[in-house]
Amino acid sequence: NAGVTQTPKFQVLKTGQSMTLQCAQDMNHNSMYWYRQDPGMGLRLIYYSASEGTTDKGEVPNGYNVSRLNKREFSLRLESAAPSQTSVYFCASSPSIDGLYEQYFGPGTRLTVT
């Protein structure tokens, strides 16, 4: 099992450019999440998908969109990148949304917006 995979690992964008971060999990988990990690701020939830076909906003959704393509894949799109979106992005998955289970994290995407 690969667990949770993310592509790309690194990306540099210019302000205003768009890109999609890809995430896939092979653990048959129902729930998937996107977080951003910034120094001194821990992890903040951007969007989540409780189950296939549903998505909801998290703590910091502005400037982002998501797609739960199928049970395995959950992508994060930046339509018009801004320097404030420079961060490390993590995708995670868990068997269910009810909080009983731990989340499994991907290796992250380091994004720099200039």
What is the contact surface with other proteins in residues (CB under 8 A)? 4, 40-45, 48, 50, 56, 58-59, 90, 92, 97-100, 102-108
Reading the block at residue 38, the tokens are 């910034």
Q: At closest approach, how far in Å is the CB of 106 from other proteins? A: 5
Q: At closest approach, how far in Å is the CB of 19 from other proteins? A: 20
Cβ atoms within 10 Å of 81's Cβ, excluding its own:
21
Reading the block at residue 23, the tokens are 């995430």
Q: At closest approach, how far in Å is the CB of 103 from other proteins? A: 7
In the block, tokens 């964008």 appear at 13
DSSP 58-85: -S--TTEEEEE-SSSBEEEEESS--GGG
Q: Based on CB atoms, which residue is closest to other proteins, 53 or 99?
A: 99
